[in-house]
Structure 1
């Protein structure tokens, strides 16, 4: 049983599959510029137009600048690991493929399932932020008085909307957030080239918008807004004094809040992961994909730090929300005293640029999600998604499955819940990729590596440990939701996926009755639920058990694969 769960695909296996995918029609149409734009298309999306406001208001205050810098440093470590793995293990599955080659099929499934959460809910999150900016543009900038029926259709049932009478009410359905994924799915079914061209144009526009915002706001930054704790000295003054935990936050503000914010803003960096999912469509993947990953991280970290500094320097951090740049540009116009016409034009430009930027974010997440499902389909774990469209050379079935599901979720779910869940999925993928590098250096030391990460024995464990530490800072309810998602994934794998796995079939694996698997999962879930119910800190114990199991599995993979594989295997 255990041997079946840790069956591994060799790097040579992945290279042959990549060559076969190219012959089957997966078109190599993306150059270095398009790959960087692909990464920035997602990174410079919700991560800069929405997440800074939520993380600053709920956790870090002006210390959000430190959170972004810390997240960028960890992403650089993870990015170096990704850059090595892209050349060693070519494929569309990103962290899923890398884990398959180093830890085995079941851990790879867990990562692939987490990536579905990361990309699927990432598209939902950006769509919800897009809806918020659209509402701000129509009401606050253009002065349109939306009827109550439309206001109720601009927020999901878990969000609160202010009616024309001033009364607060629960939304019905976030219609704009629902329509956006459907429209972009129609673009993506035409193939990666059409999506990349649209994305490149949008990225250039939003970089201009960000430059305008920073240039206009930098002169209005005040010490009163940046100094969140007057009793502190030096750079620590940007970190608010710790307070009673707010709703959904394990910590209030303070140093713990800054650490929590690092985990929350981590989802802002899933753009470089999106670069690796497109490796089968890159013209020169061994050169361009690593360069695209590292360039995306460097540019995005600089942009995040600048925008966070200006934003919290011109707006009191407690006033920030899910449309921080909209709030920021309105503050800039008001403080500079510009005429109504100038203010209207500038606000419309910035908010319109934010809408365009968020649009490309949804585009890239949908594209990445489809390619993750395509990789799972190629391996037989979800075989329906392993087909390519002969006309476009893209994974049409996977794309058509992702768009409608994202549209429904975007109509219902609120932004804060989404941001924390997406961050957990991202951090888990980063941790396992960092762990995979030293494992494969040990087990396959002579395999071809076009890019070699420096000091893998230090870099890999450091990146994995830091990612796991940041996962531990996530709020308890978020961990319970993530655990429920993982349980659903385990059920799919044991009851269906492993029974259709091509690698299991090639190894002649035999399986018992699926009812025994279902019974075992039900008993285990009941026991875990009882522990979580009986202990106030039950979620924390589950989290530690999960991370301990992950560490033990990594150690087991090292021990059982101690003998180096032959060259090129």
Structure 2
């Protein structure tokens, strides 16, 4: 049983970090690439997709406070991630950090959990991307016919044709009788499926090409978010009564089970936490950074600060423009900008969302394939998951397998279920990384740390407590699905991984936690 908690020696991790050749990942990312990689993941899903959902279901206009709460939790975890990324510049993120400090069994659990996190993360964004693309096409008078509309939404979801747009029932005014509207029932979301397939193809071609594409789109995306804020705030300044009406009450009365009230703010924070996993994904690219000891903390913390400020501004503007009650849709920002009546602004925001959400899918799938890669190199998953393409220098088989599986998720499952399933993995990863920093400080206090988390153990303890607090505010379905997923993972671990683990074959004195 002791072998289950064997740790991966830091000396071995350091050796892997400095390996070169055609069978290793290519170091080609600088600090700008890493910051834009983080912003590419963070600015997208949260702003363009989840802000509306969290406002409508949990926090109302106080969703801005949910982002503040989530951002504080992220700050604790982000400081811990930055320290680990500077010490251990290896692909794998929280999985690798857990392996070095808490042992193989804990590392397996978090690695397996991260696979679920990134899979559902990419799927959630693909679902939102589909909604924005459809909204953009309809604004360009390219509305799909009823026979085609069935393939633009998930299985069993009913959408209605109202004012030239296919919309779900929650997006329609309550006064509109549904019985009199043309409607279809979804079969398979082909748009979301194709989106994942295209992003997977980009990742197979190469990390440098992916990062450069991401950087270019991030600039476009930030400009678009700026336009939304400029137009939205300008409109509200000329219509102050609208904001006053939509923001009242700022914290809607509690309806129980985390719906509104103070508990709703916490539930909203747990819901939007998915929006912050971008800086987590930055750490999975550590093995492809040119100077990881310096650049990883910059990428992680820089992207976190920029994105938190933008989230708060956008959520306040959005809930001021339209009632939070109608925002539980795949394209809430499109609904908000349409309310201003500024046609060109609406068009630009939708174009920005289509491109912007593409970068989020890219970073999510990048993160998942790198976790697969790391687990495979350690012998915990089959060798094919760590095979590197001789020309592109990417884990191409892992990318293709992961991309294929993930492509079916947004095509079949609704967006609200997808996003809830992501957050458990994120929060568990944050708790483990925070604990890992504290443990490593105790075990190896003299270890060189290019970046040091301040106020240890206070910051790691706050990271652990805040993560578990938000976990307990997630819906019961999330706990059930994650529990089933972990049972499947344990079957694989005890059936395959323990027999092929490279670390368990090392001498015991190297894996005792002080190697």
User: 2:272 matched to which residue of 1?
Assistant: 265
Correspondence 1:121-270 to 2 at 5 A: 121-139=120-138, 141-162=139-160, 166-221=181-236, 222=240, 225=243, 237-243=249-255, 245=256, 250-270=257-277
Change beyond 3 A, Cα 1:413–1:121: same
Using CA pairs under 8 Å that are at least 6 residues apart, name the structure with larger relative contact order, 1 or 2.
Answer: 2
C-alpha contact (below 8 Å) 2:246/2:322 kept by paired residues: no
- The CA deviation string for residues 410-466 of structure 1, in whole angstroms up to 9 with x for no partner, is 211110011111011100100100111110000111112111101111111110111
SS of residue in 1 equivalent to 2:19: helix
Match of 1:324 among 322, 325, 332: 332
Correspondence 1:8-407 to 2 at 5 A: 8-20=7-19, 24-139=23-138, 141-162=139-160, 166-221=181-236, 222=240, 225=243, 237-243=249-255, 245=256, 250-320=257-327, 321-333=329-341, 343=343, 345-382=344-381, 383-407=383-407
C-alpha contact (below 8 Å) 1:158/1:413 kept by paired residues: no
User: 1:411 matched to which residue of 2?
Assistant: 411
SS of residue in 1 equivalent to 2:447: coil
Change beyond 3 A, Cα 1:228–1:240: farther
Name the TM-score, length of structure 1 as normaliser: 0.83
Q: Deviation at 1:507?
A: 4.8
Structure 2 CA distance for aligned equivalents of residues 224 and 482 of structure 1: 41
Structure 1 CA distance for aligned equivalents of residues 450 and 409 of structure 2: 40
How many residue pairs were aligned?
A: 491
Structure 2 CA distance for aligned equivalents of residues 168 and 202 of structure 1: 35
Structure 1 CA distance for aligned equivalents of residues 185 and 378 of structure 2: 44
Q: Deviation at 1:204?
A: 0.6
C-alpha contact (below 8 Å) 1:158/1:414 kept by paired residues: no
User: 2:437 matched to which residue of 1?
Assistant: 437
What RMSD over aligned residues (CA atoms) do the two structures have, in Å? 1.8
SS of residue in 1 equivalent to 2:159: strand
C-alpha contact (below 8 Å) 1:206/1:357 kept by paired residues: yes
Q: Runs of 4+ in structure 1 displaced over 6 angstroms?
A: none
- 2:491 matched to 1:476? no
Structure 2 CA distance for aligned equivalents of residues 390 and 424 of structure 1: 36
User: 1:466 matched to which residue of 2?
Assistant: 466
Q: Deviation at 1:287?
A: 0.3
Q: Which moved more, 1:157-166 or 1:396-405?
A: 157-166
Q: Deviation at 1:505?
A: 2.8
SS of residue in 1 equivalent to 2:454: coil
Structure 2 CA distance for aligned equivalents of residues 376 and 167 of structure 1: 50
C-alpha contact (below 8 Å) 1:225/1:316 kept by paired residues: no
Structure 2 CA distance for aligned equivalents of residues 351 and 370 of structure 1: 29
C-alpha contact (below 8 Å) 2:51/2:332 kept by paired residues: yes
Q: Which runs of 5 or more structure 1 residues have no equivalent in the other structure?
A: 231-236, 509-556
Structure 2 CA distance for aligned equivalents of residues 216 and 184 of structure 1: 31
Q: Deviation at 1:159?
A: 2.5
Structure 1 CA distance for aligned equivalents of residues 191 and 202 of structure 2: 17
Q: Which moved more, 1:150-159 or 1:372-381?
A: 150-159
